[in-house]
Structure 1
Amino acid sequence: MPEFAAADGTGLAYQVHGDGPPLVVVPGGPGRAGAYLAGLAGAVGRRSTVILDNRGTGASQAPADPDSYRFERLVDDIEALRVHLKLERIDLMGHSSAGNTALLYALRHPERVARLVLVCPSTRAVGIGVEDFEEALALRSHEEWYAGARSALEAWTGSATIEESVPHRERAAPFFYGRWDEAAEAHARAETHELSPPAAAGFYAGITVDPDDTRAAAATLTTPVLVVTGELDPFPTPATGAKLAALFPHGESFVQPGAGHYPWLDDKETLAEALRAFLARPVHEGLPSDQSAIDLG
Protein backbone atom coordinates (compact mmCIF):
# COMPACT_ATOMS: atom_id res chain seq x y z
CA MET A 1 0.00 0.00 0.00
CA PRO A 2 1.23 3.54 -0.69
CA GLU A 3 2.37 5.48 2.36
CA PHE A 4 3.08 9.04 3.46
CA ALA A 5 4.07 10.82 6.65
CA ALA A 6 1.64 12.79 8.80
CA ALA A 7 2.67 16.16 10.19
CA ASP A 8 3.86 14.51 13.41
CA GLY A 9 5.86 11.87 11.53
CA THR A 10 3.37 9.02 11.93
CA GLY A 11 3.46 6.76 8.87
CA LEU A 12 0.04 6.53 7.23
CA ALA A 13 -1.18 4.22 4.47
CA TYR A 14 -3.97 4.36 1.92
CA GLN A 15 -5.56 2.25 -0.79
CA VAL A 16 -6.42 3.33 -4.33
CA HIS A 17 -9.25 1.64 -6.21
CA GLY A 18 -10.18 2.38 -9.80
CA ASP A 19 -9.05 5.09 -12.21
CA GLY A 20 -9.93 8.70 -12.79
CA PRO A 21 -10.19 11.82 -10.65
CA PRO A 22 -9.79 10.88 -6.99
CA LEU A 23 -12.41 10.87 -4.26
CA VAL A 24 -10.67 10.92 -0.88
CA VAL A 25 -12.51 8.67 1.57
CA VAL A 26 -12.04 8.65 5.35
CA PRO A 27 -13.23 5.53 7.22
CA GLY A 28 -15.22 5.52 10.41
CA GLY A 29 -15.84 2.87 13.02
CA PRO A 30 -14.36 4.66 14.80
CA GLY A 31 -11.06 2.86 14.66
CA ARG A 32 -11.83 0.57 11.73
CA ALA A 33 -9.33 0.04 8.92
CA GLY A 34 -10.33 1.31 5.50
CA ALA A 35 -10.68 -2.18 4.01
CA TYR A 36 -14.39 -2.24 4.87
CA LEU A 37 -14.95 0.60 2.38
CA ALA A 38 -13.37 -1.17 -0.61
CA GLY A 39 -16.77 -2.08 -2.08
CA LEU A 40 -17.62 1.59 -2.33
CA ALA A 41 -15.35 1.93 -5.38
CA GLY A 42 -18.02 0.67 -7.76
CA ALA A 43 -20.42 3.42 -6.72
CA VAL A 44 -18.42 6.48 -7.74
CA GLY A 45 -18.36 6.21 -11.51
CA ARG A 46 -15.25 6.91 -13.56
CA ARG A 47 -13.24 7.97 -10.57
CA SER A 48 -10.73 6.46 -8.20
CA THR A 49 -11.29 6.12 -4.48
CA VAL A 50 -8.38 6.97 -2.21
CA ILE A 51 -9.22 5.28 1.09
CA LEU A 52 -7.15 6.34 4.08
CA ASP A 53 -6.21 4.01 6.92
CA ASN A 54 -6.56 6.31 9.92
CA ARG A 55 -3.60 6.32 12.29
CA GLY A 56 -3.33 3.14 14.31
CA THR A 57 -5.59 1.18 11.94
CA GLY A 58 -4.87 -1.14 9.04
CA ALA A 59 -1.42 -0.55 7.59
CA SER A 60 -0.96 2.85 9.27
CA GLN A 61 1.33 3.26 12.24
CA ALA A 62 0.10 3.88 15.76
CA PRO A 63 1.04 7.40 16.87
CA ALA A 64 3.47 8.18 19.67
CA ASP A 65 0.87 10.54 21.15
CA PRO A 66 -2.44 8.76 21.89
CA ASP A 67 -4.20 12.14 22.08
CA SER A 68 -3.77 12.38 18.31
CA TYR A 69 -6.46 9.72 17.86
CA ARG A 70 -9.06 12.43 18.61
CA PHE A 71 -11.17 13.22 15.59
CA GLU A 72 -10.30 16.91 15.55
CA ARG A 73 -6.61 15.94 15.42
CA LEU A 74 -7.22 13.53 12.52
CA VAL A 75 -8.11 16.55 10.39
CA ASP A 76 -4.38 17.17 10.02
CA ASP A 77 -3.93 13.71 8.49
CA ILE A 78 -6.41 14.51 5.72
CA GLU A 79 -4.44 17.65 4.94
CA ALA A 80 -1.19 15.68 4.88
CA LEU A 81 -2.76 13.21 2.45
CA ARG A 82 -3.95 16.04 0.18
CA VAL A 83 -0.45 17.49 0.10
CA HIS A 84 1.03 14.05 -0.56
CA LEU A 85 -1.35 13.55 -3.49
CA LYS A 86 -0.41 17.01 -4.83
CA LEU A 87 -4.03 18.08 -5.17
CA GLU A 88 -5.13 21.69 -4.88
CA ARG A 89 -8.69 20.71 -4.04
CA ILE A 90 -10.32 17.40 -3.20
CA ASP A 91 -13.72 15.81 -3.28
CA LEU A 92 -13.96 14.42 0.23
CA MET A 93 -16.13 11.69 1.75
CA GLY A 94 -16.43 10.69 5.39
CA HIS A 95 -18.34 7.61 6.48
CA SER A 96 -19.98 7.08 9.86
CA SER A 97 -17.87 8.57 12.69
CA ALA A 98 -15.51 10.05 10.09
CA GLY A 99 -18.31 12.39 9.11
CA ASN A 100 -17.09 14.45 12.05
CA THR A 101 -13.51 14.50 10.77
CA ALA A 102 -14.44 15.27 7.17
CA LEU A 103 -16.75 18.08 8.24
CA LEU A 104 -14.09 19.69 10.44
CA TYR A 105 -11.60 19.44 7.59
CA ALA A 106 -14.00 21.27 5.26
CA LEU A 107 -14.53 23.98 7.88
CA ARG A 108 -10.82 24.46 8.55
CA HIS A 109 -9.78 24.21 4.90
CA PRO A 110 -12.79 25.33 2.83
CA GLU A 111 -10.55 26.36 -0.03
CA ARG A 112 -9.34 22.75 -0.33
CA VAL A 113 -12.72 21.00 -0.62
CA ALA A 114 -14.65 21.07 -3.88
CA ARG A 115 -17.49 18.81 -2.71
CA LEU A 116 -18.21 17.11 0.60
CA VAL A 117 -20.08 13.81 0.94
CA LEU A 118 -21.11 12.54 4.38
CA VAL A 119 -22.34 8.95 4.26
CA CYS A 120 -24.35 7.75 7.28
CA PRO A 121 -22.43 10.29 9.35
CA SER A 122 -22.13 10.74 13.06
CA THR A 123 -23.50 14.15 14.03
CA ARG A 124 -21.63 14.52 17.31
CA ALA A 125 -19.52 17.46 16.11
CA VAL A 126 -22.67 19.53 15.54
CA GLY A 127 -24.57 18.29 18.59
CA ILE A 128 -27.49 16.69 16.75
CA GLY A 129 -28.87 13.71 18.63
CA VAL A 130 -30.63 10.68 17.16
CA GLU A 131 -34.10 11.20 18.58
CA ASP A 132 -35.80 8.37 16.69
CA PHE A 133 -33.32 5.59 17.45
CA GLU A 134 -35.90 3.32 19.09
CA GLU A 135 -38.35 3.85 16.25
CA ALA A 136 -35.65 2.84 13.78
CA LEU A 137 -34.95 -0.36 15.70
CA ALA A 138 -38.65 -1.16 15.76
CA LEU A 139 -38.71 -1.14 11.94
CA ARG A 140 -36.80 -4.43 12.08
CA SER A 141 -38.92 -6.11 14.77
CA HIS A 142 -40.38 -8.57 12.23
CA GLU A 143 -36.94 -9.94 11.34
CA GLU A 144 -36.05 -13.39 12.71
CA TRP A 145 -32.78 -12.09 14.11
CA TYR A 146 -34.37 -9.16 15.97
CA ALA A 147 -34.50 -10.48 19.55
CA GLY A 148 -30.90 -11.70 19.62
CA ALA A 149 -29.58 -8.59 17.90
CA ARG A 150 -31.52 -6.30 20.22
CA SER A 151 -30.06 -8.03 23.29
CA ALA A 152 -26.56 -7.78 21.80
CA LEU A 153 -27.04 -4.10 20.99
CA GLU A 154 -27.97 -3.37 24.59
CA ALA A 155 -24.88 -5.25 25.78
CA TRP A 156 -22.74 -3.34 23.27
CA THR A 157 -23.98 0.09 24.31
CA GLY A 158 -23.61 -0.89 27.96
CA SER A 159 -19.99 -1.99 27.58
CA ALA A 160 -17.44 -0.10 29.65
CA THR A 161 -14.60 -0.46 27.12
CA ILE A 162 -14.12 -1.04 23.40
CA GLU A 163 -12.60 -4.46 24.13
CA GLU A 164 -15.66 -5.40 26.17
CA SER A 165 -17.98 -4.41 23.32
CA VAL A 166 -16.28 -6.51 20.63
CA PRO A 167 -18.09 -9.84 21.32
CA HIS A 168 -21.46 -8.09 21.02
CA ARG A 169 -20.87 -6.16 17.80
CA GLU A 170 -21.28 -8.97 15.31
CA ARG A 171 -24.49 -10.23 16.97
CA ALA A 172 -25.93 -6.69 16.89
CA ALA A 173 -24.77 -6.05 13.32
CA PRO A 174 -28.02 -6.99 11.48
CA PHE A 175 -29.52 -3.65 12.53
CA PHE A 176 -26.94 -1.86 10.37
CA TYR A 177 -27.54 -3.70 7.09
CA GLY A 178 -30.56 -3.41 4.86
CA ARG A 179 -30.32 -7.12 4.09
CA TRP A 180 -28.81 -9.59 6.54
CA ASP A 181 -27.38 -12.01 3.98
CA GLU A 182 -24.05 -13.76 3.48
CA ALA A 183 -22.34 -10.64 2.18
CA ALA A 184 -23.51 -8.62 5.18
CA GLU A 185 -22.44 -11.35 7.59
CA ALA A 186 -18.95 -11.46 6.07
CA HIS A 187 -18.66 -7.67 6.18
CA ALA A 188 -19.71 -7.57 9.83
CA ARG A 189 -17.45 -10.47 10.80
CA ALA A 190 -14.43 -8.66 9.35
CA GLU A 191 -14.79 -5.83 11.87
CA THR A 192 -13.17 -7.98 14.56
CA HIS A 193 -9.94 -8.02 12.55
CA GLU A 194 -10.20 -4.47 11.22
CA LEU A 195 -10.91 -2.71 14.51
CA SER A 196 -8.15 -1.01 16.51
CA PRO A 197 -9.36 -0.62 20.13
CA PRO A 198 -6.87 2.19 20.93
CA ALA A 199 -7.93 4.17 17.85
CA ALA A 200 -11.60 3.55 18.61
CA ALA A 201 -11.27 4.54 22.27
CA GLY A 202 -9.25 7.66 21.47
CA PHE A 203 -11.52 9.01 18.73
CA TYR A 204 -13.89 10.88 21.06
CA ALA A 205 -11.66 10.99 24.15
CA GLY A 206 -11.25 14.52 25.49
CA ILE A 207 -12.61 16.25 22.41
CA THR A 208 -12.57 20.04 22.55
CA VAL A 209 -14.87 20.84 19.63
CA ASP A 210 -17.86 22.98 20.64
CA PRO A 211 -21.02 21.89 18.77
CA ASP A 212 -22.44 25.43 18.80
CA ASP A 213 -19.30 26.75 17.12
CA THR A 214 -19.37 23.94 14.58
CA ARG A 215 -23.00 24.58 13.67
CA ALA A 216 -22.31 28.30 13.28
CA ALA A 217 -19.35 27.55 11.03
CA ALA A 218 -21.37 25.08 8.96
CA ALA A 219 -23.85 27.85 8.20
CA THR A 220 -21.07 29.80 6.43
CA LEU A 221 -19.73 26.91 4.34
CA THR A 222 -20.40 27.45 0.63
CA THR A 223 -19.07 24.02 -0.36
CA PRO A 224 -21.79 21.72 -1.76
CA VAL A 225 -22.59 19.01 0.81
CA LEU A 226 -24.45 15.74 0.26
CA VAL A 227 -25.63 13.80 3.32
CA VAL A 228 -26.49 10.18 2.54
CA THR A 229 -28.46 8.03 4.98
CA GLY A 230 -30.01 4.60 4.77
CA GLU A 231 -33.76 4.28 5.24
CA LEU A 232 -33.26 1.53 7.85
CA ASP A 233 -30.15 2.82 9.58
CA PRO A 234 -30.73 3.46 13.30
CA PHE A 235 -27.65 5.64 13.68
CA PRO A 236 -27.97 8.06 12.02
CA THR A 237 -31.58 7.90 10.96
CA PRO A 238 -32.82 9.72 7.85
CA ALA A 239 -34.34 12.43 10.06
CA THR A 240 -30.95 12.97 11.70
CA GLY A 241 -29.26 13.24 8.31
CA ALA A 242 -31.84 15.75 7.12
CA LYS A 243 -31.15 17.95 10.15
CA LEU A 244 -27.44 17.84 9.39
CA ALA A 245 -27.91 18.71 5.71
CA ALA A 246 -30.11 21.65 6.67
CA LEU A 247 -27.19 23.28 8.49
CA PHE A 248 -25.36 24.00 5.23
CA PRO A 249 -26.27 26.71 2.73
CA HIS A 250 -25.78 24.17 -0.08
CA GLY A 251 -26.59 20.97 1.77
CA GLU A 252 -28.92 18.27 0.57
CA SER A 253 -30.12 14.97 1.98
CA PHE A 254 -30.44 11.69 0.10
CA VAL A 255 -32.18 8.74 1.76
CA GLN A 256 -31.41 5.40 0.12
CA PRO A 257 -34.47 3.14 0.20
CA GLY A 258 -34.01 -0.17 2.02
CA ALA A 259 -30.44 0.59 3.03
CA GLY A 260 -28.66 0.46 6.35
CA HIS A 261 -25.34 1.89 7.54
CA TYR A 262 -23.38 0.53 4.56
CA PRO A 263 -25.54 1.52 1.59
CA TRP A 264 -23.03 0.39 -1.06
CA LEU A 265 -23.63 -3.19 0.11
CA ASP A 266 -27.41 -2.94 0.05
CA ASP A 267 -27.87 -1.40 -3.40
CA LYS A 268 -24.72 -0.15 -5.07
CA GLU A 269 -26.47 1.15 -8.18
CA THR A 270 -28.91 3.37 -6.30
CA LEU A 271 -26.07 4.87 -4.30
CA ALA A 272 -24.00 5.21 -7.47
CA GLU A 273 -26.71 7.22 -9.19
CA ALA A 274 -26.86 9.70 -6.29
CA LEU A 275 -23.09 10.02 -5.93
CA ARG A 276 -22.34 10.34 -9.62
CA ALA A 277 -24.93 13.08 -10.05
CA PHE A 278 -23.61 15.03 -7.08
CA LEU A 279 -19.91 14.62 -7.91
CA ALA A 280 -20.46 15.64 -11.54
CA ARG A 281 -21.89 19.02 -10.63
CA PRO A 282 -19.71 22.04 -11.37
CA VAL A 283 -18.37 23.97 -8.41
CA HIS A 284 -17.23 27.55 -8.16
CA GLU A 285 -13.53 28.07 -8.51
CA GLY A 286 -12.02 29.86 -5.53
CA LEU A 287 -13.91 31.15 -2.52
CA PRO A 288 -16.20 34.06 -1.86
CA SER A 289 -14.40 36.86 -0.09
CA ASP A 290 -16.33 36.25 3.13
CA GLN A 291 -15.42 32.55 3.47
CA SER A 292 -12.26 31.72 5.39
CA ALA A 293 -10.94 28.89 7.51
CA ILE A 294 -12.63 28.39 10.86
CA ASP A 295 -10.58 27.67 13.99
CA LEU A 296 -12.38 24.80 15.70
CA GLY A 297 -9.57 23.49 17.86
Structure 2
Amino acid sequence: MPQYRSYDDTALSYRVLGPAGLPLVCLSGGPGRDAAHLGDLGGLDRAYRLLVPGPRPAGGSPQAAGPGRPSLPPLPQDLEALRSHLRLERFALLAHGAAAATAQSYAAAHPERLSHLVLVCPEDRDRRTVPVESREVTCPVLVVTGEQDTISGVRIGQPLAASFPRGEWRRLSGVGHHPWVDDPEIFRAAVGSFLGEL
Protein backbone atom coordinates (compact mmCIF):
# COMPACT_ATOMS: atom_id res chain seq x y z
CA MET A 1 0.00 0.00 0.00
CA PRO A 2 1.52 3.37 -0.99
CA GLN A 3 2.37 5.93 1.66
CA TYR A 4 2.92 9.66 1.98
CA ARG A 5 4.34 11.96 4.64
CA SER A 6 1.87 14.21 6.40
CA TYR A 7 2.39 17.66 7.93
CA ASP A 8 3.97 16.18 11.07
CA ASP A 9 6.20 13.76 9.09
CA THR A 10 4.02 10.78 9.99
CA ALA A 11 3.85 8.10 7.27
CA LEU A 12 0.22 7.55 6.24
CA SER A 13 -1.16 5.05 3.74
CA TYR A 14 -3.71 5.27 0.95
CA ARG A 15 -5.35 2.92 -1.54
CA VAL A 16 -5.73 3.46 -5.28
CA LEU A 17 -8.62 1.91 -7.23
CA GLY A 18 -9.73 2.42 -10.81
CA PRO A 19 -8.23 3.81 -14.01
CA ALA A 20 -5.65 6.55 -14.30
CA GLY A 21 -6.96 10.11 -14.35
CA LEU A 22 -10.19 11.63 -13.03
CA PRO A 23 -9.10 11.52 -9.36
CA LEU A 24 -11.75 11.21 -6.66
CA VAL A 25 -10.40 11.35 -3.10
CA CYS A 26 -12.68 9.42 -0.73
CA LEU A 27 -12.77 9.90 3.04
CA SER A 28 -14.13 7.21 5.34
CA GLY A 29 -16.54 8.13 8.12
CA GLY A 30 -16.06 7.10 11.73
CA PRO A 31 -13.01 8.10 13.80
CA GLY A 32 -10.22 5.58 13.33
CA ARG A 33 -12.30 3.24 11.18
CA ASP A 34 -10.51 1.34 8.45
CA ALA A 35 -11.37 2.88 5.08
CA ALA A 36 -11.60 -0.58 3.48
CA HIS A 37 -15.34 -0.62 4.26
CA LEU A 38 -15.83 1.88 1.42
CA GLY A 39 -14.91 -0.86 -1.04
CA ASP A 40 -15.20 0.44 -4.60
CA LEU A 41 -18.12 2.72 -3.60
CA GLY A 42 -20.69 0.82 -5.59
CA GLY A 43 -18.55 0.65 -8.71
CA LEU A 44 -17.42 4.28 -8.89
CA ASP A 45 -13.95 2.92 -9.59
CA ARG A 46 -15.15 2.03 -13.10
CA ALA A 47 -15.17 5.69 -14.10
CA TYR A 48 -12.91 7.41 -11.56
CA ARG A 49 -9.55 6.84 -9.93
CA LEU A 50 -10.45 6.41 -6.26
CA LEU A 51 -7.78 7.63 -3.83
CA VAL A 52 -8.70 6.43 -0.35
CA PRO A 53 -6.50 7.60 2.56
CA GLY A 54 -6.49 5.41 5.63
CA PRO A 55 -7.54 7.43 8.70
CA ARG A 56 -5.42 7.31 11.83
CA PRO A 57 -4.91 4.92 13.50
CA ALA A 58 -6.63 2.29 11.29
CA GLY A 59 -6.22 1.41 7.62
CA GLY A 60 -2.50 0.71 7.82
CA SER A 61 -1.67 4.24 8.95
CA PRO A 62 0.25 4.44 12.24
CA GLN A 63 -0.81 6.62 15.14
CA ALA A 64 0.99 9.89 15.65
CA ALA A 65 3.64 9.56 18.32
CA GLY A 66 5.67 11.86 20.51
CA PRO A 67 5.04 14.49 23.16
CA GLY A 68 2.09 16.74 22.53
CA ARG A 69 0.92 14.85 19.45
CA PRO A 70 -2.73 13.76 19.51
CA SER A 71 -3.68 10.23 18.51
CA LEU A 72 -5.98 11.62 15.80
CA PRO A 73 -4.34 14.73 14.25
CA PRO A 74 -6.43 17.16 12.19
CA LEU A 75 -7.32 15.27 9.02
CA PRO A 76 -7.69 18.35 6.77
CA GLN A 77 -3.92 18.76 7.09
CA ASP A 78 -3.40 15.11 6.17
CA LEU A 79 -5.60 15.64 3.12
CA GLU A 80 -3.60 18.64 1.96
CA ALA A 81 -0.39 16.63 2.42
CA LEU A 82 -1.84 13.83 0.27
CA ARG A 83 -2.84 16.34 -2.43
CA SER A 84 0.69 17.73 -2.46
CA HIS A 85 2.21 14.25 -2.56
CA LEU A 86 0.06 13.29 -5.56
CA ARG A 87 0.70 16.67 -7.25
CA LEU A 88 -2.99 17.31 -7.80
CA GLU A 89 -3.84 20.87 -8.74
CA ARG A 90 -7.57 20.24 -8.29
CA PHE A 91 -9.58 17.17 -7.43
CA ALA A 92 -13.04 15.94 -6.50
CA LEU A 93 -13.61 15.02 -2.84
CA LEU A 94 -16.16 12.57 -1.45
CA ALA A 95 -16.71 12.08 2.28
CA HIS A 96 -18.98 9.71 4.17
CA GLY A 97 -20.62 10.16 7.57
CA ALA A 98 -18.43 11.84 10.18
CA ALA A 99 -15.75 12.49 7.56
CA ALA A 100 -18.02 15.20 6.12
CA ALA A 101 -16.67 17.42 8.91
CA THR A 102 -13.14 16.99 7.58
CA ALA A 103 -14.25 17.55 3.99
CA GLN A 104 -16.15 20.74 4.82
CA SER A 105 -13.22 22.12 6.80
CA TYR A 106 -10.84 21.36 3.93
CA ALA A 107 -13.21 22.87 1.35
CA ALA A 108 -13.47 26.09 3.35
CA ALA A 109 -9.70 26.35 3.80
CA HIS A 110 -8.74 25.34 0.23
CA PRO A 111 -11.67 26.14 -2.09
CA GLU A 112 -9.36 26.56 -5.06
CA ARG A 113 -8.28 22.91 -4.81
CA LEU A 114 -11.72 21.29 -5.25
CA SER A 115 -13.60 20.72 -8.50
CA HIS A 116 -16.52 18.95 -6.76
CA LEU A 117 -17.53 18.05 -3.20
CA VAL A 118 -19.80 15.09 -2.35
CA LEU A 119 -21.07 14.62 1.22
CA VAL A 120 -22.65 11.19 1.71
CA CYS A 121 -24.92 10.75 4.73
CA PRO A 122 -23.33 13.61 6.72
CA GLU A 123 -24.07 13.59 10.42
CA ASP A 124 -26.12 16.34 12.08
CA ARG A 125 -23.35 17.01 14.58
CA ASP A 126 -21.06 18.09 11.74
CA ARG A 127 -22.97 21.36 11.27
CA ARG A 128 -23.10 22.05 15.01
CA THR A 129 -19.44 21.48 15.76
CA VAL A 130 -17.46 22.33 12.63
CA PRO A 131 -16.95 26.04 11.86
CA VAL A 132 -17.54 26.07 8.13
CA GLU A 133 -17.66 29.20 6.01
CA SER A 134 -19.93 27.65 3.40
CA ARG A 135 -19.88 30.76 1.22
CA GLU A 136 -16.13 30.20 0.72
CA VAL A 137 -16.79 26.85 -0.96
CA THR A 138 -17.10 27.78 -4.63
CA CYS A 139 -17.24 24.32 -6.24
CA PRO A 140 -20.48 22.39 -6.88
CA VAL A 141 -21.57 20.46 -3.76
CA LEU A 142 -23.79 17.37 -3.65
CA VAL A 143 -25.33 16.22 -0.37
CA VAL A 144 -26.63 12.63 -0.50
CA THR A 145 -28.89 11.18 2.18
CA GLY A 146 -30.59 7.80 2.46
CA GLU A 147 -34.25 7.86 3.41
CA GLN A 148 -33.74 4.82 5.66
CA ASP A 149 -30.60 6.16 7.37
CA THR A 150 -31.12 5.72 11.11
CA ILE A 151 -27.63 6.98 11.97
CA SER A 152 -27.41 10.36 10.24
CA GLY A 153 -31.05 10.78 9.25
CA VAL A 154 -32.27 12.83 6.29
CA ARG A 155 -33.13 16.18 7.91
CA ILE A 156 -29.62 17.55 7.53
CA GLY A 157 -29.57 17.10 3.74
CA GLN A 158 -31.60 20.03 2.48
CA PRO A 159 -30.35 22.76 4.87
CA LEU A 160 -26.75 21.64 4.46
CA ALA A 161 -26.98 21.74 0.67
CA ALA A 162 -28.65 25.14 0.83
CA SER A 163 -25.76 26.55 2.89
CA PHE A 164 -23.42 26.28 -0.11
CA PRO A 165 -23.65 28.70 -3.05
CA ARG A 166 -23.76 25.78 -5.52
CA GLY A 167 -25.21 23.04 -3.34
CA GLU A 168 -27.81 20.43 -4.25
CA TRP A 169 -29.48 17.64 -2.28
CA ARG A 170 -30.43 14.14 -3.37
CA ARG A 171 -32.50 11.91 -1.13
CA LEU A 172 -32.09 8.30 -2.18
CA SER A 173 -35.01 5.95 -1.60
CA GLY A 174 -34.61 2.47 -0.17
CA VAL A 175 -31.11 2.97 1.24
CA GLY A 176 -29.60 3.62 4.65
CA HIS A 177 -26.27 4.92 5.98
CA HIS A 178 -24.21 2.99 3.41
CA PRO A 179 -26.07 3.62 0.14
CA TRP A 180 -23.32 2.18 -2.08
CA VAL A 181 -23.89 -1.16 -0.32
CA ASP A 182 -27.70 -1.04 -0.14
CA ASP A 183 -28.20 -0.06 -3.78
CA PRO A 184 -24.97 0.35 -5.75
CA GLU A 185 -26.73 1.31 -8.97
CA ILE A 186 -28.79 4.16 -7.57
CA PHE A 187 -25.81 5.49 -5.63
CA ARG A 188 -23.45 5.25 -8.60
CA ALA A 189 -26.00 6.99 -10.83
CA ALA A 190 -26.54 9.86 -8.38
CA VAL A 191 -22.86 10.54 -7.78
CA GLY A 192 -21.79 9.82 -11.35
CA SER A 193 -24.33 12.20 -12.88
CA PHE A 194 -23.13 14.93 -10.52
CA LEU A 195 -19.42 14.39 -11.16
CA GLY A 196 -19.77 13.75 -14.89
CA GLU A 197 -16.35 13.70 -16.50
CA LEU A 198 -14.93 16.11 -13.90
TM-score w.r.t. length of structure 2? 0.92
Which residue of 2 is the match for residue 26 of structure 1?
27
* Native 8 Å contact 1:218 1:248 kept in 2: yes
SS in 1 for 2:158: helix
Which residue of 1 is the match for residue 59 of structure 2?
58
Q: Closer, same or farther in 2 for the Cα pair 1:41/1:5, shift >3 Å?
A: farther
1:232 alignment partner AA: Q
1:250 alignment partner AA: R
Which residue of 2 is the match for residue 48 of structure 1?
49
Structure 2, gaps ≥5 residues long = none
Larger RCO: Structure 1 or Structure 2 (Cα < 8 Å, ≥ 6 residues apart)? 1
* Native 8 Å contact 1:26 1:51 kept in 2: yes
Which residue of 2 is the match for residue 120 of structure 1?
121
Q: CA deviation at 1:219?
A: 2.8
**After the TM superposition, which of the residue ranges 57-66 and 24-33 deviates more from structure 2?**
57-66
* Native 8 Å contact 2:17 2:40 kept in 1: no
* Native 8 Å contact 1:44 1:276 kept in 2: no
Q: After the TM superposition, which parts of structure 1 deviate over 3 Å for at least 4 consecutive aligned residues?
A: none
* Native 8 Å contact 1:235 1:261 kept in 2: yes
* Native 8 Å contact 1:231 1:259 kept in 2: yes
Q: Closer, same or farther in 2 for the Cα pair 1:25/1:108, shift >3 Å?
A: same
Which residue of 2 is the match for residue 246 of structure 1?
162
Q: CA deviation at 1:29?
A: 1.2
Q: CA deviation at 1:235?
A: 2.7
Which residue of 1 is the match for residue 105 of structure 2?
104
* Native 8 Å contact 1:39 1:265 kept in 2: no
Q: CA deviation at 1:44?
A: 5.2
* Native 8 Å contact 1:43 1:264 kept in 2: no
SS in 1 for 2:119: strand
2:72 alignment partner AA: Y
Separation in 2, partners of 1:6, 1:83? 10
Pairing 1:83–2:77 present: no
**After the TM superposition, which of the residue ranges 34-43 and 89-98 deviates more from structure 2?**
34-43
Q: 1:228 aligns with which of 137, 144, 162?
A: 144
Q: CA deviation at 1:233?
A: 0.3
Separation in 2, partners of 1:22, 1:90? 6
RMSD: 1.7
For the pair shown, the structure with the greater C-alpha radius of gyration is: 1
Separation in 2, partners of 1:41, 1:260? 14
Which residue of 1 is the match for residue 8 of structure 2?
8
TM-score w.r.t. length of structure 1? 0.62
* Native 8 Å contact 1:28 1:96 kept in 2: yes
Separation in 1, partners of 2:124, 2:79? 19
Separation in 2, partners of 1:77, 1:254? 29
* Native 8 Å contact 1:99 1:118 kept in 2: yes
1:28 alignment partner AA: G
Structure 1, gaps ≥5 residues long = 128-209, 283-297
Q: Closer, same or farther in 2 for the Cα pair 1:68/1:10, shift >3 Å?
A: same
Q: Closer, same or farther in 2 for the Cα pair 1:78/1:53, shift >3 Å?
A: same
Separation in 1, partners of 2:33, 2:153? 21
1:69 alignment partner AA: L
Structure showing the higher strand proportion among its residues: 2
**Sequence identity of aligned pairs in percent?**
43
Q: CA deviation at 1:220?
A: 3.5
1:109 alignment partner AA: H
Which residue of 2 is the match for residue 272 of structure 1?
188
Structure showing the higher helix proportion among its residues: 1
Which residue of 1 is the match for residue 70 of structure 2?
67
SS in 1 for 2:13: strand
Separation in 2, partners of 1:235, 1:52? 23
Separation in 1, partners of 2:32, 2:84? 23
Which residue of 2 is the match for residue 170 of structure 1?
none
